[in-house]
């Protein structure tokens, strides 16, 4: 299964279009990250595993992402959850 071709990125020589594309990409990345973290937690992933996948510390991942619906009460680490 292949993904549809991506539209060409705007040229940096057109700052208005290029910066609008940056904003759109950030919003898409944030949505995908939130959905993936929610799914990972539902599948039993620890904050350490999530942080490693994102390339950040578990404290940074928890601080930035624990506000997702239903996740605020999960601690960033717990000896019972850590691998």
Is 11 a residue whose pLDDT tops 70?
yes
Map tokens 């700052």 to a residue: 15
* Overall average pLDDT of the 10-33 stretch: 95
* Overall average pLDDT of the 75-83 stretch: 46
Is 9 a residue whose pLDDT tops 90?
no
Q: Each residue of 30-75: pLDDT tens digit?
A: 999 999 999 999 999 999 999 999 999 989 998 989 887 565 455 5
Q: What's the pLDDT band for 81 if we cut at 50, 70, 90?
A: very low
* CA dist list (Å): 78 to 9, 26, 66, 73: 43, 31, 15, 12
Q: Are 58 and 24 in contact (CB under 8 A)?
A: no
Q: Are 49 and 40 in contact (CB under 8 A)?
A: yes
Check residues 69 and 17 and name the one with the higher pLDDT.
17
């Amino acid at each position: 299964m292949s993904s549809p071709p991506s539209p060409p990125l705007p040229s940096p020589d057109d700052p208005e279009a290029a910066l609008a594309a940056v904003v759109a990409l950030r919003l898409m990345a944030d949505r995908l990250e939130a959905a993936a973290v929610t799914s990972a937690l539902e599948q039993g992933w620890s904050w350490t595993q999530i942080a490693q996948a994102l390339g950040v510390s578990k404290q940074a991942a928890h601080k930035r992402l624990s506000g997702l619906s239903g996740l605020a009460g999960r601690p960033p680490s717990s000896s019972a959850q850590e691998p």
